Chains A and B, each alone.
Chain A
Amino acid sequence: MKGTAAHIVRTLLLSLITLFGVSILIFLMLRVLPGDPARVLAGLNASEDQVARLRAELGLDDSLLAQYWSFITGVLTGDLGTSARTSAPVASEIGVRLPATLLLAIVATIIGTIAGVTAGVIAAVRRNSMVDHVISSVAMMGVSMPVYWLGLLLILLFAVTLGWLPAAGSGEPLSIVLPAVTLAAFSTALISRMTRASMLEVLGQDYVRTAEAKGAPPITVIMRHGLRNAFIPILTVISLQFGALLGGAVLTETVFGWPGIGRLLVDSIGARDFAVVQGIVLVYAAAFILLNVIVDVLYVVVDPRIRY
């Protein structure tokens, strides 16, 4: 366990370099984008004078180095800057929306993990049976169906026709159900495929036969001896999916009017709101690094052979 703690500290220290690199990359990428933030912000009817004043106000006339310097020193002192669009601090803009995105990603990951692992285990245990084929077909659909399409279908059925669930927004506790299920569809499919493959490999191992020879009932053999050993690749897929959900829920957030960070990011890119985009990307990068550290620790918990 001592090695693991050292590994975490080392990873976190190294991640500072990563974050520094990310900050340079996103900063430069935004600057090479066509489009002048001041012009977008000033509106169609603004005069050249007004635009020029705004450019100066936003610091866009400074050299790139000076702009970056003011950005990075701000970050280091905990100040992510101010949104050009709303004049609110970037940190509070993100702070307002991050919980909604996190909640959605966590709920969708939980649904995806439970449904995906269950389906994958059943498919592996009953391989080549009717159940297995049905699960495989549904998983294929889950991977290939676009989220906005699935989202609209779900709204049509559960909100419009049946009236069981709210169609959009985040006002009611049940509001999360449809966006979470929509997001979980892809994860479920992916996790179930990985679980099936991993379980099939493990169930053919000698120690599974040993467990059967000991007189263990099928559920013990499958869960205690099978799934636990099959879990490392599944855990990897789950964590990758969770990361993707954090950043890639834009479509779902749009379809369901979910006030998450994905929409803020897209809107901010459209408005060339540099400070907000930079802030969100940095937060994403930090979140991914943290997620990786957590998964590294989980690997050790799942498999005692893994040591850092």
Chain B
Amino acid sequence: MSSPVLSVRGLTTEFVTPAGVVRAVNDVSWDLFPGETLGVVGESGSGKSVTAMSILGLIQSPPGRITAGEILFEGRDLLTMPDKELRRLRGSEIGMIFQDPMTSLNPVLTVGAQISEALRLHDKKMSKNAARTRAIELLTMVGVPNPEGRVDQYPHEHSGGMRQRAMIAMAIANDPKVLIADEPTTALDVTIQAQVLDVLKTAKERTNAATILITHDLGLIAEHADRVVVMYGGKVVEVADVFSIFAAPRHPYTLGLMSSLPRLDVDLARLDPIPGAPPNLIDLPPGCSFHPRCRVSKGRERCRTEVPPLYDTGDGARAACHFTEEVPAEMAVVYREMGARLGSGGA
């Protein structure tokens, strides 16, 4: 395997709040390889977005602070890099697409001006006219109809889907090596979601950028990701390729996510939601933070006292569970309970 384009190593990001210190990202490590799409899944508050913000150095300080770890982009640590160099990478080598296109575009600048800005910030010699022409090209590429007219319009004259296309155009304007898409379709209508994802896919193929797709939508992961990182309570609990994650999850939390998801390939009588609520990050349960909700733990002492490391589960996959070898058997039990008749459903 080639060397990773982006490596997160032991990243820990905290927020100081009146109620206490929130460790939103806790010793997170993963690699992103050239050309791949890495899916990052987890519930709200699991640390997905904070990880992305940490990569770009966009954690507001105070209250936020990165207390440990390194983020290596092509071997250079983004966390210790001077601001000026980091700014040169942002928007050129690393592009970012945010969740809510309604609020992520500047309302007083035309869409074209905002795309041109992304271009001209990183190519000081580019003329205004050249940037405008390129902005029109980019809008065409992301499927904005009538790009010559649209380029001079303001964001409030565009629909949500159109704005997210413009955001994508902005993010890929400088052919980034890494593209971070943070819940890119969550704020959009279901019908628009599919279109925008297609655009994202095309954009990714054109630029061949390694993509980090942050989402809580397992359907998106199944369709678009090559490998998956599952986060829970600020920690990575499982890393595996997308087929293994869906076919044979090795962490009870991942199993819980799968069995709470309606599926087309398995005919289910009912779903099996994960009991309880996501943990309070100020006051995480001791040991494995998932143990109060875990169906594999069965109240065992070790789950309550010992924080599980990421165990190697073979084929480059890892899972943070003391009893990861019991998960496949548990999966069979869960699916039997849910009344699955494997193979009797759709494709």
Contacts and interface: CB of A to CB of B under 8 A. Distances in A.
B interface, size bucket: 20 to 34
Nearest to A305: B156
B217 to A, nearest CB: 20
A34 to B, nearest CB: 54
Nearest to A205: B103
Contact of B91 (A215, A224, A303): A215
Nearest to B180: A213
B170 interface: yes
Nearest to A213: B96
Contacts of B88: 215
Interface string A294-308: 000000001111000
A305 B89 CA distance: 32
Nearest to A225: B106
Question: Dominant SS at the A interface?
Answer: helix
B100 interface: yes
A2 interface: no
Contacts of A126: none
Interface string A216-245: 110010001100110000000000000000
A303 B108 contact: yes
Contacts of A225: 106, 109
Nearest to B88: A215
Contact of A228 (B58, B98, B108, B170): B108
Interface in A188-231: 205-207, 209-217, 220, 224-225, 228-229
B98 A209 contact: yes
Interface in B112-146: 117-118, 121-122
A305 B91 contact: no
Contacts of A220: 121
A127 B28 CA distance: 31
16 contacts: A206-B98, A206-B100, A207-B107, A210-B106, A211-B117, A213-B58, A213-B90, A214-B121, A214-B170, A215-B118, A224-B117, A229-B106, A229-B108, A304-B107, A304-B156, A305-B107
Interface of B: 56, 58, 87-92, 96, 98, 100, 103-109, 117-118, 121-122, 154, 156, 167, 170
